[in-house]
Amino acid sequence: MKKLTNLRLILEYFEVPNRDLAKAINVSPSMVSNWVQGKRALRASSGFVVAIADYVLSRRMLETRDITWLKKQFEHTGISTEFDFASDIKRNLIIWLADDGHEVLEIFKKADIQITNEQRDDVGLSPYLYSIGPAGRIYNDDYSARAGVLDISMRLGRIFETMKDATTIDICLSSETVATIMENVFIAEIMKAFQTKNIYLRMLAALSGNSTALSRIIAAYTPMIVAGKMELYISHGMMQPMIHQTSIFIPDICAVAITELPDSLSPPAALFITESIFLKDSADGFDRVVRFAQPLMQFYPDNILKGMIDIFNREFSDDGDMDIQSDGLNFLMLEPEEYIEILEQKGFKGNALEWRSEEYLQIKNGFESNLKNGAVFREIISAEFLKNMVVNGSCEVPSMYFMDTGNTLIQTKACAAILAGYIRMLKSYPNYHISVAPYLGEKQKGTRHIKHGRHVTLGPWKNEPKLIFSDQMIMIHEFQTYFNELWMSLSAGTRENTILLLEIMLQEIEKLIGQEG
């Protein structure tokens, strides 16, 4: 008899003591111990394995890490890792737990039921499934329903896998308090599509006055917002709904209508619609409605230089405190002559060189004047970025800092000048502060400028050079709160230690300059 270890594995993973399982399924602890040690067979037909699967899966809402772990276990046994329903997980878990699971798999194979890891015909929804009969009758294949956050999220994940890269997805929320889009498994599928399919998201939320709920949405989808891959719109004046509705529109594939009941233990339910006319009209309808909504942010492509220069002036030159969080470097650390040298290397001359130099000098002088007047500037920079700069002797920054488009490679001499500028600022202005973050996670990537109480500017320049600007208080509050929390977690080091670290890095950069010379 094969020694059973799968039960032990899953009990340990879900942190279920043997005695708790025994009590839950009404057996003796010694019987559970025998199953765990493989001294007694746990068969699929016994009924106990079903009770075990039910109890284990009821312990908590499955998260992405749980599903990943289960898939890894199933894969070793040849059981399917493609899930459309939570019931699929339970069925496969029963097969995996049972001593005679391999026999059950053989029975399924003979019955032509696909449980093994083979290509399935129903992966994704085809844009050609729809068919309209006489009098506009919509055939049944145009609709499929899912109930429960896990089932909905997994179905969406399978659909996302079939999409073309850079697809724009529209999500319409009947209220900012909808719960489904805030569940970890749902967010995980959106973020996976963002990372693997480079999706673009437009979200429209009808506000019912719950600013905290909207803040949570902003926090949850921050990686997409900061990367410039999400637009957020709000509309006002909606009455308190009896139901919450989330509508998702995936071009040429399907529309998803998710219905949930507020303050209810009932699971959400979703309808997946593939009928062609519905898809076209829903896409047109979203475009029409969003024009009446209030955008929470404005986008400035890097070819709209005038708008960007105006924003830089408002941030650095206007009175008031400011916070900066960046996985890059602050271009204002360059002295004017060093800045002009980079402009010349980029090929600027004549009037173009002159006006760019004047704009830079105006912003830099405004920045230092603001500091002299007592404004507090806090800046979080990436230790990883600094380390790579020292190793490579160069770094890439957005060309918008040089009143140009695209990205600019900063060479060794300019890198040294920026580090020297940081050191000078720290020594000259006690109200200028720097914290070096050992590591910036996905939610912390990109560049963020927060002008206290006025506006927030995001620069996802590594993905696509542009600025995202918002003067909406809900956006300012959310990013300010997040910055404050991050700053507090990094504020253990002293000012002297930060200066010492930067001086050591500057010495390493200067060694590279000497080698180049």
- pTM for the whole thing? 0.69
Q: Decide the pairing of beta strands 269-273 and 200-206.
A: unpaired
The DSSP bridge partners found for residue 466 are 301
| Domain residue limits, the chain | 6-110, 140-296, 299-516
φ and ψ at residue 439, rounded to 5 degrees: -150, 135
Q: Which residues contact residue 359 at a Cβ distance below 8 angstroms, ignoring those fewer than 6 apart? A: 309, 403
Tell which phi-psi region holds residue 265, choosing left (phi > 0), alpha (psi between -120 and 50) or beta.
alpha
* CA–CA distance, 274 with 159 (Å, rounded to integer): 12
User: Which residues of the chain carry a pLDDT beneath 70?
Assistant: 1-4, 84-85, 104-143, 237-242, 461-464, 491-493, 516-517
> Same fold for the domain at 6-110 and the one at 140-296?
no
List alpha helices for 137-275, DSSP H: 149-162, 184-197, 211-220, 222-226
Q: Which residues contact residue 239 at a Cβ distance below 8 angstroms, ignoring those fewer than 6 apart? A: 208
Question: What pLDDT is stored for residue 440 in this prediction?
Answer: 78
Q: Please say whether the beta carbons of 268 and 150 come within 8 A.
A: no
Record: fold of 140-296: Endonuclease; Chain A (3.30.870)
Q: Please say whether the beta carbons of 329 and 506 come within 8 A.
A: no
- The domain 6-110 having CATH identifier 3.90.660: the answer here is no
Question: What pLDDT is stored for residue 105 in this prediction?
Answer: 67
Name the DSSP letter for residue 404: S
